[in-house]
């Protein structure tokens, strides 16, 4: 019961505080779509033999559940019939994917994640996979 009264009080204060709206000049109004992300070069440089390191395998495994959650969160927004909303969702989705990869330890972002996913089943990587105890395979 205390939570309901606390929530009601906070909601009432928010409504009272937002009651008086001022006209915002058109030139200072917030943009309706987010700005395009700045292109940054990925520091990831794939090796030519497709060998995945132990740490890459562990970081890839840690990123998988996060990326699955992000895909589920943005699925409906990306497929929105309103192109502006769909495009904005795609920009946010791409940014969230990059962030999840880097937070998981994959310094090369989603580009490196994809490279690991493509090469992880290469027989040369079997020793790393066996010692990494991956949950995503």
**Residue positions counted in the chain:** 137
Q: What is the pLDDT of residue 20?
A: 44
Please give the Cα distance from 9 to 115 (Å, whole number): 51
Check: CB of residue 44 under 8 Å from CB of residue 112: yes
Written in H, E and C, the secondary structure of 119-135 is HCCCHHHHHHHHHHCCC
CB atoms within 10 A of CB 107: 13
Reply yes or no on whether the pLDDT at 102 is more than 70.
Answer: yes
Q: What is the pLDDT of residue 106?
A: 96
Average of pLDDT values for 29-45? 55
pTM above 0.75, yes or no: no
Token output for 51: 């060998």
Q: What is the pLDDT of residue 4?
A: 44
pLDDT range class, residue 32, cuts 50, 70, 90:
low
């Amino acid at each position: 019961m205390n939570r309901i009264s606390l929530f009601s009080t906070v909601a009432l204060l928010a409504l009272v505080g937002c009651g008086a709206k001022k006209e915002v000049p058109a030139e200072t109004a917030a943009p309706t779509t987010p700005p395009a992300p700045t292109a940054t070069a990925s520091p990831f440089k794939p090796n030519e033999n497709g060998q995945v390191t132990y740490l890459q395998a562990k970081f890839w495994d840690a990123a998988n559940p996060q990326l699955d959650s992000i895909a589920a969160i943005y699925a409906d927004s990306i497929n929105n019939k309103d192109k502006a909303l769909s495009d904005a969702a795609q920009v946010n989705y791409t940014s969230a994917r990059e962030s999840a990869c880097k937070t998981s330890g994959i310094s090369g972002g989603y580009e490196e994640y994809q490279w690991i996913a493509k090469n992880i089943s290469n027989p040369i990587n079997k020793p790393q996979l066996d010692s990494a105890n991956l949950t995503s395979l």
